[in-house]
Amino acid sequence: SALDEVAARKRLAQIDQTLRDRLRQVEGDREFLRHANVGGEAMAPEERERVNRIGTGYKWIDVSEGTADFLTDDEIKNLTISRGTLNNEEREKINHHIVATIKMLEALPWPKHLSHVPEYAGGHHERMDGKGYPRGLKREQMSVQARVMGIADIFEALTAKDRPYKRGKTLSESLKILGNFRLNGHIDPDLFDIFVRKKIYLRYAEQFLDPDQIDEVDESKIPGFAADPA
């Protein structure tokens, strides 16, 4: 009857709309996972929860083994790293490189004027608050040169454009991150202020960065930056 036909069309329209909504959700989740897979400086708790929800909510259907979660536990672990792109096991292995560096450098017969090279090179992962590695040194236990190396190493890593796992950040992005590091005791605050005030970042950028990385920097908005007292 006409009423049955109308009801059938209505059901089909509802099914079609439900399918369209579901496809939009799947596409949104797929795009989110693509973004999460690139990695970044930090991942918010709600983003980590979304990865878990996607990973266990969707299912693979295997004719021989039944159903399985869309993401494995290992994939979820690596997609939900709260800061940076390394999980705890990988970070421990990476951290060991500086220990190996120090041992190799200390074994070399440096001339007197280069005798402090192992300390300079070996201290670039230390923090001013003593929470760095490998020796947990504080600011007063480190030479100026080692503290300079710490800032230089981070700035180069942030702006580097040859890393396959990330894009090179712009000047304003990099200085914002370094400013937060200044505030949380990661880098030397006085040396960072000089780095900004003397525009050392710009001199480096003009030599080594792509033009699209050299954006306008509003130094007054850099976290923690102390403007020239004069």
Q: What is the pLDDT of residue 227?
A: 67
Residues 123-163: tens digit of each pLDDT: 989 999 999 989 999 999 999 999 999 999 999 999 999 88
Confidence of residue 2 (pLDDT cuts 50, 70, 90): confident
Q: What is the pLDDT of residue 27?
A: 94
Mean pLDDT of the chain: 91
Tokens 């000089």 -> residue: 194
Under 8 Å between Cβ of 52 and 58? no
Alpha-carbon distance 129 to 151, whole Å?
A: 14
Residues 6+ apart with CB under 8 A from 77: 87
Residue type, 202: L
Cα dihedral 178, 183, 184, 185, rounded to 10, equals: 90
Average pLDDT over residues 194-206: 97
Alpha-carbon distance 20 to 158, whole Å?
A: 40
Alpha-carbon distance 54 to 221, whole Å?
A: 37
Q: What is the pLDDT of residue 229?
A: 56
Alpha-carbon distance 194 to 81, whole Å?
A: 33
Fold held by 88-221: Hypothetical protein af1432 (1.10.3210)
Cα 190 off chain centre by:
24
Beta bridge partners of 129: 138
Joined together, the tokens standing for residue 77 give 């672990």
Domain boundaries, the chain: 2-79, 88-221
**113 or 67: which leads in pLDDT:** 113
Confidence of residue 167 (pLDDT cuts 50, 70, 90): confident
Radius of gyration of the chain (CA): 25
- Angle between helix axes 144-159 and 200-208 (nearest 10 degrees) is 50
The phi-psi region of residue 166 (left if phi > 0; otherwise alpha if psi is between -120 and 50; otherwise beta) is beta
**Does the pLDDT at position 230 exceed 60?**
no
Q: What is the pLDDT of residue 220?
A: 94
Element (H, E) at 66: strand 66-69
**Considering the entire predicted model, what is its pTM?**
0.68
